[in-house]
Amino acid sequence: MNGFLGIDVGSVSTNLVVLDESGAVRESLYLRTQGQPIKAIKTSLNMAVERLPGLKVLGVGTTGSARHLASVIVGADSVKNEITAHAVAASSMVPGVRTVIEIGGQDSKLIILRDGVVTDFAMNTVCAAGTGSFLDQQAARLGIPIEQFGEMARRATLAVRIAGRCAVFAESDMIHKQQMGYSLEDIGAGLCEALVRNFLNNLGKGKEILSPVVFQGGVAANVGMRDAFNKALATEIIVPEYFGVMGAVGAAILAREYAARTGRTMFRGFSTLDVDFSSKSIECRGCPNQCEVISIQRGSQVLARWGDRCGKWSGVNGILKNEELAEA
Amino acid sequence: MKVTFPHMGNLHIVAKALLEYLDVPVVVPPPISKRTLALGLSHSPEFACIPLKINMGNFVEAAELGADTIVMAGGVGPCRFGYYAQVEREILKDLGYNYQMIVVEPPDTHWSEVKEKIKLISQGKPWWQITGAIKFAWLKARAIDIVEQKVQKIRARELVKGNADTVYRQALENIDMARDKQGVLKARDKALANLDDIPIDKDKTVLKVAVIGEIYTILEPYVNQNIEMHLGRLGVEVSRSIYLSEWINDHLFMKIIPIRSTKDYIKMAPPYLGHFVGGHGQETVGSAVKYSRTGFDGAIQLAPLTCMPEIVAQSILPVVSKKENFPIMTIYFDEQTGEAGMLTRLEAFIDLLERRVDLKRSKDNEWIFGN
């Protein structure tokens, strides 16, 4: 079959989606990045071709914090930030959506759309209190598998009040309430409400949250969080079918749009997978900034460099040879 | 006496020109680096904003080069910055540095005190020499800003990314080296000519984005992670709400030179914000209004994390954004050095602006062609 690949390489997970020519999702993969994005990208491509033998790729889009790295490795046609990718996916899956709540591993986003166009957005800044990693950590501390956390919260009789402003405050508050004897269910529900409060106070500042509201990202799997958003916003919360891989869906849609305009792809092909990619980092000593410059290599060929402030390494006119890099 | 001062963008070139004209030995702190940040962090209260931490790093590094006197700005009003010189002096004393700290309060409110301080720094130089020094420093400040404003335009349009920055870096060096008025003007004109020689895409439609907010954050590229350069590389023309020369004209020369003034922002801030809230909070709100009415596509507010005046401004900006139909995004900066988060936000913001411009264009076409 002919298809479009969307690859979302985030801090916690690497997701890959295959769209067919009509734009329907044919395959979606979710795997942990585990700090090795290149390996995760290769593995996900391998899995895709195993599941869809004979897949002919007409276009590739990348997103996520490692989107540039991913684009260099696979040869992407479109490289887009997560906010645009998530917005594109949500408005394609839920036409008319006006609010997108996205909570992933390390960050959370609030995207406001009007007439299918992003008009405003916010991302959590310096704090990870409302994100998946914190939920993960707390579930682990309580000895509850994260998959069951939401169901457990749903059995609460009373959501106890937990400080949601800061993950450290939340944790000490939870421990304190535990020691007082509140049930795990009540504490779990309280935590969900605290995180939702944190999200809305942090990202929702001054923004008009109108329905339809779409909730996506890995945390949308948590029914406790869905309930808490539902309660706080007093509106129906829509969780799309592919909520966990919406970034990749958006990247694939953008690749499809790109291919429709140009009729060609930069995709390097699945044979790329056999080639060794490596990254090499070095501290540039050209000035006191001492930038950590990274070069991505395919065999001995340098594909890209970044990490510098001045543009000496990453600039189009600054592709220096490895020997020069070593001397810098 | 060996005088040093904190870094803030290109301030060091201007301050050095001033002091050297007065024959005062100067120690410019080494450019802000990871080391500066690390030194600053280890000697600062955790809850202070990033300017104090970088200042501390600058002072420690300047002391290593033999500086024994600090000229530091004071401040009035609710912003904590007015207290920083005092805090820094105490910390340096505790660390065992033998620094003399000369705190210069804002000249427009404390002129007689400033006069005393100038006498002290210049070691009693005659007023004609002091006036000459101020003029010379101003000349450099203005030359830098004129070159930079052109760089901000070229960056967005240059065919090979990075050319404008190369010229800019060289221009800063030349202006810094210039010993007299002719030298400064020559360096300025050479830079402008070199910028004109850079091949650009003349027909490119570029987005115009204003960088507004707290003065230190918007002027110091180390702290704002070079946001203007990144915007330029994304094809955006940038204007900043405050340029150093404008600040000098507003606060030291009482606006006698007819250039853009940050005081205009104060006039434009009402009805959104009718009074002073400390720092540049009111200017931030007013500048958003001004840029929205002068053909800009959006604005990005920059501030150090926990900055009270900018938090006040931030809470008012959504109203400005809605009423003036003008997208505004806020980014806080602290000690983090990873740029990925900022780049994601910039790209998303630019996508948003582009879509708006496209929509507006198609609506205009509808009107023209009657579809």
CATH of the domain at B117: 3.40.50
Amino acid at A106: Q
The residue from B66, B100, B125 where one domain ends is B125
Q: What is the pLDDT of residues B73-92, one digit of tens each?
A: 988 888 999 899 999 999 99
Residue B339 shares a structural domain with residue B223: yes
With CA atoms as reference, report the closest residue to B225 among A315, A282, A291.
Answer: A291
Which strands make up the sheet holding B236-240, listed edge to edge?
A: B236-240, B207-213, B298-304, B328-333
For this complex, say whether ipTM is above 0.90: no
Give residue B66's domain range: 3-125
Is the pLDDT at A327 greater than 60? The verdict is no
* Mutation site, A71, A119, A293, A306, interface B, largest B CB count within 10 A: A119
- Which pLDDT does position B210 carry in this prediction? 98
Q: Which chain A positions have a beta carbon within 8 Å of B162's beta carbon?
A: 311, 315-318
Residue B93 shares a structural domain with residue B153: no
How many domains is chain B built from? 3
The more confident residue out of B342 and B7 is B7
Would the CB atoms of B334 and A126 count as touching at under 8 Å? yes
Residue B52 shares a structural domain with residue B152: no
- Which pLDDT does position A284 carry in this prediction? 83
Q: What is the pLDDT of residues A63-120, one digit of tens each?
A: 998 898 899 889 999 999 999 999 999 999 999 999 999 998 778 899 999 988 898 9
In percent, the amount of chain A with pLDDT more than 90 equals 49
Calculate mean pLDDT across residues B138-153. 97
Q: What is the pLDDT of residues B22-71, one digit of tens each?
A: 999 999 999 998 899 999 999 999 999 999 999 999 999 999 999 999 99
* Mutation site, B312, B344, B360, interface A, largest A CB count within 10 A: B344
Longest CA pairwise span in chain B (Å): 76
Which phi and psi (to 5°) does residue A296 adopt? -100, 125
Residue B141 shares a structural domain with residue B226: no
Q: What is the pLDDT of residues B353-366, one digit of tens each?
A: 998 888 777 777 76
Q: How confident is the model at residue A238 (pLDDT cuts 50, 70, 90)?
A: very high
The partner residues of A6 in beta bridges, in order of sequence, read: A17, A61
CA dist list (Å): B178 to A268, B144, B173, B184, B188:
52, 12, 9, 5, 10
Would the CB atoms of B160 and A117 count as touching at under 8 Å? no
Residue B229 shares a structural domain with residue B335: yes
Residue B218 shares a structural domain with residue B332: yes
With contact defined as beta carbons under 8 Å apart, do B89 and B118 qualify? Answer: no
Q: Tell me, what CATH number does B359's domain have?
A: 3.40.50.11900
With contact defined as beta carbons under 8 Å apart, do A246 and A221 qualify? Answer: no
Q: How confident is the model at residue A126 (pLDDT cuts 50, 70, 90)?
A: low
The more confident residue out of B122 and B370 is B122
C-beta neighbour count of B244 within 10 angstroms: 23
| CA pair distance A12, A105, nearest whole angstrom | 6
How far is residue A97 CA from its own chain's centroid? 19
CA dist list (Å): B321 to B76, B293, B328:
29, 12, 6
Question: What DSSP element (H or E) covers A218?
Answer: none
Which segment of A50-54, B176-180, B270-274 scores lowest on mean pLDDT?
Answer: A50-54
| CA pair distance A187, A177, nearest whole angstrom | 7
Calculate mean pLDDT across residues B277-300. 96
Structural domains in chain A, sorted by start:
2-85+247-273 (3.30.420.40), 96-239 (3.30.420.40), 276-327 (no CATH)
Residue B139 shares a structural domain with residue B195: yes
Would the CB atoms of A126 and B356 count as touching at under 8 Å? no
Counts of helices then strands in chain A (DSSP H, E): 10, 13
**3-class secondary structure, A215:** strand
**How many residues are recorded in chain A?**
328
- Which pLDDT does position A319 carry in this prediction? 46
The more confident residue out of B220 and A137 is B220
The more confident residue out of A165 and A157 is A157
C-beta neighbour count of B54 within 10 angstroms: 27
Which segment of A189-193, A234-238, A275-279, B367-371 scores lowest on mean pLDDT?
Answer: B367-371
The more confident residue out of B107 and B136 is B136
**Among A residues 90-109, those touching chain B with beta carbons less than 8 Å apart:** 107
The residue from B125, B141, B167 where one domain ends is B125
∠ Cα A99 A102 A108 (to 5°): 120
Residue B97 shares a structural domain with residue B135: no
Question: What DSSP element (H or E) covers B198?
Answer: none
With CA atoms as reference, report the closest residue to A59 among A267, A244, A250.
Answer: A267
Residue B359 shares a structural domain with residue B236: yes
Q: Which of B162, B331, B348 has its CB closest to that of A83?
A: B348
Would the CB atoms of A206 and B345 count as touching at under 8 Å? no
- Which pLDDT does position A290 carry in this prediction? 77
- Which pLDDT does position A272 carry in this prediction? 72
Calculate mean pLDDT across residues A134-142. 85
- Which pLDDT does position A125 carry in this prediction? 64
Is the pLDDT at A315 greater than 70? The verdict is no
- Which pLDDT does position A322 carry in this prediction? 47
| CA pair distance B83, B59, nearest whole angstrom | 16
- Which pLDDT does position B64 carry in this prediction? 97
Is the pLDDT at B252 greater than 90? The verdict is no
Question: Can you list the alpha helix ranges (DSSP code H) found in chain B?
Answer: 11-21, 34-42, 50-64, 81-95, 111-121, 127-157, 163-177, 181-197, 215-219, 227-233, 244-251, 263-268, 281-292, 308-323, 340-369
Residue B12 shares a structural domain with residue B75: yes
With contact defined as beta carbons under 8 Å apart, do B268 and B290 qualify? Answer: yes
Q: Which residues of B touch A (CB under 8 A)?
A: 30-35, 160-163, 165, 169, 222, 226, 229, 233, 305, 314-315, 317-319, 321, 327, 329, 331-332, 334, 336, 340-341, 343-345, 347-349, 351-352, 355-356, 359
Which of A264-268, B294-298, B333-337 has maximum average pLDDT? B294-298
Is the pLDDT at A51 greater than 60? The verdict is yes
Mean confidence (pLDDT) of chain A: 87
Exposed e or buried b per residue across B209-243, where buried means at least 16 C-beta atoms within 10 angstroms of its C-beta: bbbbbbbbbbbbebbbbbbbbbbbbbbbbbbbbbb
The residue from B65, B96, B125 where one domain ends is B125
Is the pLDDT at B181 greater than 90? The verdict is yes
Is the pLDDT at B114 greater than 50? The verdict is yes
Calculate mean pLDDT across residues A14-29. 94
With CA atoms as reference, report the closest residue to A57 among A271, A279, A291.
Answer: A271
Q: Which chain B positions have a beta carbon within 8 Å of A117's beta carbon?
A: 352, 355-356, 359
Residue B81 shares a structural domain with residue B94: yes
The more confident residue out of A285 and B183 is B183
Residue B191 shares a structural domain with residue B248: no
The more confident residue out of B50 and A172 is B50
Which phi and psi (to 5°) does residue A299 adopt? 60, -120
The partner residues of A18 in beta bridges, in order of sequence, read: A5, A27
* Mutation site, B351, B356, B357, B361, interface A, largest A CB count within 10 A: B351
Mean confidence (pLDDT) of chain B: 93
∠ Cα B87 B92 B98 (to 5°): 130
| Per-residue tokens: B282 | 């009111």
- Which pLDDT does position A127 carry in this prediction? 65
C-beta neighbour count of B114 within 10 angstroms: 17
